[in-house]
Amino acid sequence: MSVIKVSNLTKTYTDTEVPVHAVNGIDLTFEKGEFAAIVGPSGSGKTTILNMIGGLEKSTSGTVEVHGQDISELSSGKLIDFRLNNIGFVFQAYNLIPVLTAKENVEFIMQLQNWEKTKMNERTFAILESVGLGNRVNSKPNQLSGGQQQRVAVARALASKPQFILADEPTANLDSKSTNQLLDIMEKLNKEENITFIFSTHDQRVVDKAHRVIKVDDGKVVSDEVKN
């Protein structure tokens, strides 16, 4: 089942001396349960593609459809609601709220979605346990290692059961051990819960784990390989 369909997607930045064509006519489809990586050198357009799929940036032209809904047509308010209820984000910088515990960071999105308190607690403890942090629920970000903070970020992204997860360079600030642990956790969740993951990365460790690798350069797809 197709979750995301990207058609003739372009992005041109005109607030520079010379217009920058970051994305040039991309066509991509993602199915439910994929574990895919968009890869390429800095400036290739991979993060811009991910941001447009997630509705964080508006395309110059083309469409991004999520379950048939063209998100490029949504107003700013409706787009915020759509992201809240359909997309989980994991960023390079973790983006945890420093004054909140791991549990409170994970609950944050569910509170915005008005989850019932008992169900929210059950889901929070279960998802933190699944990422190996069941014993750190009351720890604040400054009491956690970088790898643990990123696992909290993954738990937060997953907690509200989104349609898919977008992960932008999620391993960039992690050492090899933390990277391998994080990727193993995400791959396990992908297999067990059929959660769709789409990465933007230039980390070979992520590329090696991915089941599909989409290479981009100069804003265009140069190859799209599904591993056996």
Q: Which CATH topology does 2-226 take?
A: Rossmann fold (3.40.50)
For residue 97, give Cα distances in angstroms to 39, 45, 105, 153: 29, 28, 6, 10
For residue 167, give Cα distances in angstroms to 17, 38, 134, 222: 31, 10, 22, 21
pLDDT given at position 64? 94
Q: Among candidates 103, 204, 91, 81, which has minimal Cα distance to 159?
A: 103
Q: Using CA of residue 176, residue 105, residue 74, residue 70, what is the dihedral sign?
A: positive
DSSP at 73: G
Q: Does residue 32 contact residue 55 with C-beta atoms inside 8 Å?
A: no
| For the chain, the helix, strand and coil percentages under 3-state DSSP, each to the nearest 5 | 40, 30, 35
pLDDT given at position 41? 87
pLDDT given at position 98? 94
For the chain, 228 residues long, give each residue's pLDDT as a single digit of tens: 688 999 999 999 988 888 888 999 999 999 999 999 999 988 889 999 999 999 999 999 999 999 888 998 888 899 999 898 889 999 888 889 999 999 999 999 899 999 999 999 999 999 899 888 999 999 999 999 999 999 999 999 988 888 899 999 998 888 888 889 889 988 988 988 888 999 999 899 999 999 999 999 999 999 999 987
The whole-angstrom separation of Cα 6 and Cα 182 is 28
pLDDT given at position 1? 62
Q: Does residue 66 contact residue 94 with C-beta atoms inside 8 Å?
A: no
For residue 101, give Cα distances in angstroms to 78, 107, 108, 132: 29, 10, 10, 15
Q: Does residue 106 contact residue 152 with C-beta atoms inside 8 Å?
A: yes
**Which token pair is 122?**
């059950």
Q: Among candidates 158, 227, 226, 144, which has minimal Cα distance to 186?
A: 158
Q: Among candidates 102, 167, 155, which has minimal Cα distance to 127?
A: 155
Domain boundary assignment for the chain? 2-226
